[in-house]
C-alpha cells in the first residue's frame, strides 16, 4: 500500500441545546397528529422499532408547529447550522492544537438545508477563518457524506501534503419533517433522525500529526437505484424517500464491495480489526453485521450512537469516529474500516491504520 492520504488529527462535535427523550417526542407527535391520523399504534410501533432513546433538535419542541413553510424552516436551518457548525469546527481545531487561521481547505457536507453563500462561507466571517481558505461545499450525498467527505479531504491533503483540511458536517434533520405526510417513510424518519454537527481535521503527511492514517478510499455507485433513498423536493421542502430495500442492498452488495476493495490492496476481511460504521438503523446494522461476519461487538459504538442521538445522516459516522478515537482506540498499527451508505444509492469505504 502507499503511504496514505494523510492523518486524522482530531474530531470535534456540537449539538443544539434542545435534547428530548424519545417518549417525550412520541407524546408530542401523538398530540399533533391524532386529529389527522387514524393509526397512532403504527406511529408508536415504528418509533419503538428504530431503537432510538432520544435526540437533539435544532429548535425547542414547541416551535416546530409554528413553521408554516419551507422558507421558515430553511431560515432556521441557516441560523442553527452556523451556530453548531461553528462550535464543531472550533472543537476540532482546539483538539488538534490549531488556530482558526491555519486550515487551508474546508469541506462542508449537508443534505438538510440550502444556503448561498453556503455555511462554510458564513463561518469564515463568524469564526475568523483565513480569507484564503479554499471552500468545497458538497450537497446531496446524505448519510454517505461523512465518509465521502472524509475521503475527499484525504484526496486534498494527498495532493497538498503540507496542508490541513477540515471536513464539517451539519445535519438538522428535524427541520425537514413533513407534518402532513403520514407515509411509513416519513413516520420512520420522524422517529429515527436527529440533529447535530461534527468536524474532522485531516492533516497532510508532511505536517507530522499523530492519529489514524487514511490509507485508501473507494466509492461505489449502484446503477438505477435513485429511489432507494433521497428527497423529493417541492414547495413543501424535503420529503423523504426511504425504501425498505436499503437493508437488501447491504445484504446483496456490501460484502462483495468490501472484499473487492481489500483484495485490490492485498488484504482480506480478517485483516480489519475495527469498524467505524454509519448507524443507518437497526435493520441496516443487522445486515451489516451479518454481511461482514461481525459477531464480537465490533459495532457497539455505532449501536450506542443510534440509541443516544439517533441517525444524524452524514454527521453520524463522524460521531462514531470521535468516540472510537476517544474511548475505544484500536491497537497502534492495526487496520480499521470506516464506511457509510447513502443516496445514489452508494457506499463509501475508507481504510484506516491506527
pLDDT tens column, 76-108: 999 999 999 999 999 999 999 999 999 999 999
Which pLDDT does position 237 carry in this prediction? 87
Which pLDDT does position 230 carry in this prediction? 83
**φ and ψ at residue 248, rounded to 5 degrees:** -65, -40
Which pLDDT does position 289 carry in this prediction? 97
- Which residues are marked as active site? 143
Q: Which residues contact 328 (CB under 8 A, 6 or more apart)?
A: 274, 301
Cis peptide before 48 (omega within 30 of 0): no
125, containing H or E segment: helix 119-127
Dihedral sign computed on CA atoms, order 39, 42, 48, 52:
negative
Which pLDDT does position 300 carry in this prediction? 98
Which pLDDT does position 303 carry in this prediction? 98
**Choice between 35 and 349, residue whose per-residue pLDDT is larger:** 349
**φ and ψ at residue 240, rounded to 5 degrees:** -70, 140
Which pLDDT does position 251 carry in this prediction? 93
pLDDT over 90, % of the chain: 83
Number of alpha helices (DSSP H) and beta strands (DSSP E) in the chain: 11, 13
CA-based nearest residue to 109, from 172, 175, 167: 167
Could you give the CA distance from residue 139 to residue 114 in angstroms, rounded to a whole number? 8
Please determine, for residue 169, whether its predicted confidence score (pLDDT) is greater than 50: yes
Please determine, for residue 2, whether its predicted confidence score (pLDDT) is greater than 60: no
Q: What is the mean pLDDT of residues 135-158?
A: 97
Least confident range from 92-96, 135-139, 162-166, 242-246: namely: 242-246
Could you give the CA distance from residue 236 to residue 179 in angstroms, rounded to a whole number? 10
Q: What is the pTM of this model?
A: 0.96
Per the structure block, which three cell numbers stand in for 244? 425498505
CA-based nearest residue to 242, from 301, 188, 304, 283: 188
Could you give the CA distance from residue 93 to residue 91 in angstroms, rounded to a whole number? 6
Dihedral sign computed on CA atoms, order 271, 274, 279, 282:
positive
Q: Concatenated DSSP letters for 286-310?
A: HHHHHHTT--SSTTHHHHHHHHHH-
Ordered structural domains, the chain, with CATH: 7-207 (3.40.47.10), 213-353 (3.40.47.10)
Mean pLDDT of the chain: 95
Other CB atoms within a 10 A radius of the CB of residue 227 amount to: 13
Q: What is the mean pLDDT of residues 324-333?
A: 96
Instruction: Work out the angle between the directed axes of helices 40-49 and 184-192 (0-180°, nearest 10).
Output: 50
Please determine, for residue 1, whether its predicted confidence score (pLDDT) is greater than 80: no
Which pLDDT does position 3 carry in this prediction? 62
Other CB atoms within a 10 A radius of the CB of residue 303 amount to: 17
Binned at pLDDT 50, 70 and 90, residue 147 comes out as: very high
Per-residue DSSP letter, 68: -
pLDDT in tens, 31-61: 988 888 768 888 899 999 999 999 999 999 9
Amino acid at each position: 500500500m502507499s503511504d496514505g492520504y494523510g492523518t486524522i488529527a482530531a474530531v470535534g462535535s456540537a449539538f443544539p441545546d434542545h435534547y428530548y427523550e424519545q417518549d417525550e417526542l412520541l407524546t408530542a407527535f401523538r398530540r399533533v397528529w391524532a386529529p389527522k391520523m387514524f393509526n397512532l399504534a403504527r406511529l408508536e410501533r415504528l418509533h419503538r422499532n428504530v431503537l432510538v432513546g432520544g435526540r437533539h433538535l435544532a429548535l425547542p419542541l414547541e416551535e416546530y408547529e409554528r413553521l408554516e413553510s419551507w422558507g421558515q424552516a430553511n431560515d432556521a436551518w441557516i441560523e442553527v447550522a452556523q451556530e453548531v457548525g461553528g462550535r464543531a469546527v472550533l472543537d476540532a481545531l482546539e483538539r488538534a492544537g490549531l488556530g482558526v487561521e491555519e486550515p487551508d481547505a474546508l469541506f462542508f457536507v449537508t443534505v438538510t438545508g440550502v444556503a448561498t453563500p453556503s455555511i462554510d462561507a458564513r463561518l469564515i466571517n463568524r469564526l475568523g477563518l483565513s480569507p484564503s481558505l479554499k471552500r468545497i461545499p458538497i450537497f446531496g450525498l446524505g448519510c454517505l457524506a461523512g465518509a465521502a467527505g472524509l475521503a475527499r479531504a484525504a484526496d486534498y491533503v494527498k495532493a497538498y501534503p503540507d496542508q490541513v483540511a477540515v471536513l464539517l458536517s451539519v445535519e438538522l434533520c428535524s427541520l425537514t419533517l413533513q407534518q402532513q405526510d403520514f407515509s411509513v417513510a416519513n413516520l420512520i424518519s420522524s422517529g429515527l433522525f436527529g440533529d447535530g454537527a461534527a468536524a474532522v481535521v485531516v492533516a497532510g503527511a508532511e505536517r507530522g500529526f499523530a492519529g489514524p492514517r487514511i490509507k485508501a478510499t473507494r466509492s461505489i455507485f449502484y446503477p438505477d437505484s435513485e429511489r432507494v433513498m433521497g428527497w423529493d423536493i417541492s414547495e413543501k421542502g424535503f420529503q423523504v424517500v426511504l425504501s425498505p430495500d436499503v437493508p437488501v442492498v447491504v445484504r446483496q452488495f456490501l460484502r462483495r464491495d468490501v472484499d473487492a476493495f481489500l483484495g485490490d490492496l492485498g488484504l482480506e476481511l480478517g485483516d480489519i480489526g475495527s469498524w467505524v460504521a454509519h448507524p443507518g438503523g437497526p435493520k441496516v446494522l443487522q445486515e451489516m453485521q451479518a454481511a461482514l461476519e461481525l459477531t464480537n461487538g465490533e459495532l457497539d459504538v455505532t449501536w450506542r450512537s443510534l440509541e443516544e442521538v439517533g441517525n444524524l445522516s452524514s454527521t453520524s459516522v463522524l460521531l462514531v469516529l470521535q468516540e472510537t478515537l476517544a474511548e475505544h482506540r484500536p491497537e497502534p498499527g492495526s487496520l480499521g474500516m470506516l464506511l457509510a451508505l447513502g443516496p445514489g444509492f452508494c457506499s463509501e469505504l475508507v481504510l484506516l491504520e491506527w
